[in-house]
Structure 1
Amino acid sequence: MYPGGVRRGLVTAETIVQAPVATEQPEPVPVPFVPPDGTLDALGRPRRLVARTAERYAAVQKLLSEGKSLGAIGRTLRLDHSTVRRFARAGSLDELLVKTTGRLSVLDEHKPYLHARWLDGCHNIPQLHRDLRELGFTGSVQCIRRYFRSFKPPRQPGRKQQRVSRPQPRPAPKPRRGVRWILTNPERLTPADAAELKEIRTACPHLDAAARHVHDFAEMLHHLRGDQPPDWMDRVLADDLPALHSLVNGLQRDFDAVTAGLCTPWSKGQVEGHVTRVKLLKRMGYGRANLDLLRQRVLLSP
């Protein structure tokens, strides 16, 4: 039992006598909804065209009472001469409003039904359009959308509409950065680069398979394991990686040289270095020396 429950449960006779007698409040009588006429919008407010017409009519009549001509009124209010003449000749504002709002719409005869359905809780515009089509309505669904554009469905009591903040998608890394991460020894990657590489490999299975084959090929080159290329090529061909399939086709055309390169510590790196040096000397003497001088420079240069 909560503290003080006994005290709250004791009610004296004096309290009962002094307590006001609750009288039943009469239930409010629902006021029938009257569809707006041509001068009001769907919310019962004056239409923009009606308000503008009333404002212009009052301004034109005021300037006429001051003795100004129709041309001067048109220049002052920036209105066309025919518009000023129509406002000046009108006997009253109601006469102008009848001419302004007298155009009939295909939705006029169905407005009472639409408002009754809206007040009943049906706020589905396509459903209202289908119901009106059964009643003989020939307009489009956009006509009903424009009519109910200013309406807002009532919110459910006790519920707050909260904005759901969606996390911003993380920008994808540039392709060159991804290639550099894949070609780098995993032990030399920074923790941030390793985490981002792991994330993109998880998101793309094809990239994960390509990175795995590249690492296996790097291990064969580093440890000179010439007996593993056949198994590696079979694993590559089993995956849907056209770029690596092209590499495998090139290795198969010169498989003996590839095997020899992965089995012996010898390479043509020194030969390529001499070729590069000869090309440099050739470009340095272009246009100023003949073949004999080039031969001397190649033999004598370190």
Structure 2
Amino acid sequence: MNLHGRATGRALLSDADNITAAGSLLKSRLAHRTSREEIFTTIHALRNQGLSCSEIGRRTGFPRRSIAKWLQFETPPDRRRAALKPTSPWYFEPFLSKSWKDGIRTGSALFRLIRERGYEGSQTHLQRLLAGWRRAEKQASDPKVAHEILKPVRDPETGHAISPVIAAALCIKPRGKLTPDQARKVDALKTGSPAFVTMRSLAMRFNGILRGREADPLPAWIDNAIETDLAPLVRFARTLNRDFDAVKNAIETPWSNGQAEGQINRLKTLKRAMYGRAGPELLRVRMLPFRHTN
């Protein structure tokens, strides 16, 4: 089942529980590797026919120097990789691997540990590394997870498939505000979609953090959201993590830019409604307060 956010059509739950972009990236790299091997074999076969490097270059379209270099190897040469620096979490891979095996698996805890050891990068880069480890463990424990296709969830009373828009709205609506019909649909979605259960649980927790005006549980929520491997949740959690200080202030302080944003929206609405019909004097009258004397 797919869940889409509002009218944008952006999927909240994908058919295969959000097979992430890392899987596609790995496939593309393997395909590129296979292509390099085929080119390498072709070059050596042409060389065995007695052709020169220039002639091989004309037939294959590759530079003569590249062909001459490849002919010096018996297997396709690996690309040179830049030396790891403290800005990369892979620089601390041995320490991270040991901590991971010791049971320290939250991104925030590992981030603090490697920062003490000189890590200069961001927590987002670290989370990407950890996400790959989590996916590898999940696929090793259950190889069928990546290929599971979820069927549409149907309303048990009407038999109709629950639309993505309705499912997305129900995902963020508290149980106490659900009508009997909506509660029935939520129960059906929980039964038919494990991903919906995870997403709704995290949505309710996030709602509690916002309404409780306490930002202390937020780091744990971000780590749990990233561990789900649900692409939209992972994106949202990483965005929160990048602007963590701003999000924390928004949760804990009473200040808001809502008034300024509301006035901007009001002004734009007035301009669009009056475009081509009136001048700045009427716009001034409609825009400024009634008793404005300036």
TM tier, smaller: 0.3 to 0.5
> Highest relative contact order (Cα 8 Å, sep 6+), 1 or 2?
2
TM-score (norm 1): 0.41
Which is greater in Rg? 1
